[in-house]
Amino acid sequence: MNETKAWEVDTLRGHMNNVSSVMFHAKQDIIVSNSEDKSIRVWDATKRTGIQTFRREHDRFWILAVHPEINLLAAGHDNGMIVFKLERERPAFALSGDSLFYCKDRFLRFYEYSTQKDSQVIPIRRPGRKEGTGGSAVFIARNRFAVLEKSTSQVLVKNLKNEMVKKSALPIPTDAIFYAGTGNLLCRSEDKVVIFDLQQRLVLGELQTPFVSGAWDDNGVFIYTTLNHIKYCLPNGDSGIIRTLDVPIYITKAMIAYLQQKGFPEVALHFVEDERIRFNLALESGNIGVAVASATQINEKDLWYRLGVEALRQGNSGIVEFAYQQTKNFERLSFLYLITGNLDKLSKLMKIAEVKNNVMGQFHNALYLGDVKERVKILENAGHLPLAYITASVHGLTDVAERLAAELGDNVPTLPEEKTPSLLMPPSPVMCGGDWPLLRVSKEYLKEDLRVQPEEVLLMKKKM
State whether CATH 3.10.300.10 applies to domain 337-415+428-435: no
pLDDT in tens, 105-127: 778 899 988 888 888 888 877 66
**CB within 8 Å of 228: residues ≥ 6 apart:** 244, 245, 247, 250, 253, 254, 257
- CA dist., res. 334 & res. 343, Å (int): 10
- CA dist., res. 293 & res. 273, Å (int): 12
Percent of the residues in the chain that have a pLDDT greater than 90, as a whole number: 0
Cβ count near 278 (within 10 Å): 23
Tell me the average pLDDT across 15-35. 83
Instruction: Please name every residue paired with 23 in a beta bridge, in sequence order, or none if there are none.
Output: 32
Residue 449's pLDDT is what? 46
Cβ count near 78 (within 10 Å): 12
- CA dist., res. 126 & res. 41, Å (int): 18
Residue type present at position 157: V
Using the predicted structure, report yes or no on whether residue 327 has a pLDDT greater than 60: yes
Write down the mean pLDDT value for the chain.
77
- CA dist., res. 129 & res. 150, Å (int): 22
Burial 81-99 (b: 16+ CB within 10 A, else e): eeeeebeeeeeeeeeeeee
Residue 263's pLDDT is what? 65
- CA dist., res. 257 & res. 274, Å (int): 14
**CB within 8 Å of 3: residues ≥ 6 apart:** none
Of 38-42, 226-230, 251-255, the poorest mean pLDDT is in 251-255
Residue 458's pLDDT is what? 37
Q: Is the dihedral of CA 43, 49, 54, 57 positive or negative?
A: positive
Of the pLDDT bands very low, low, confident and very high (cuts 50, 70, 90), residue 438 is low
Of the pLDDT bands very low, low, confident and very high (cuts 50, 70, 90), residue 235 is confident
Closest CA to 233 of 242, 223, 243: 223
Of the pLDDT bands very low, low, confident and very high (cuts 50, 70, 90), residue 181 is confident
pLDDT in tens, 135-162: 788 888 888 888 888 778 888 888 888 8
Instruction: Please name every residue paired with 155 in a beta bridge, in sequence order, or none if there are none.
Output: 148, 168
Q: Which long-range contacts (CB under 8 A, 24 or more apart) does 371-375 make?
A: 372/397, 373/397, 373/400, 374/350
Of 85-89, 119-123, 162-166, 262-266, the poorest mean pLDDT is in 262-266
Domain coordinates in residue numbering, the chain: 19-84, 93-123, 337-415+428-435
- CA dist., res. 199 & res. 182, Å (int): 10
CB 353 within 8 A of CB 330: yes
Using the predicted structure, report yes or no on whether residue 182 has a pLDDT greater than 50: yes
Instruction: Please name every residue paired with 147 in a beta bridge, in sequence order, or none if there are none.
Output: 137, 156
Of the pLDDT bands very low, low, confident and very high (cuts 50, 70, 90), residue 330 is confident
Q: Which residue has the higher pLDDT, 257 or 123?
A: 123
CB 87 within 8 A of CB 66: no
Q: Which residue has the higher pLDDT, 417 or 312?
A: 312
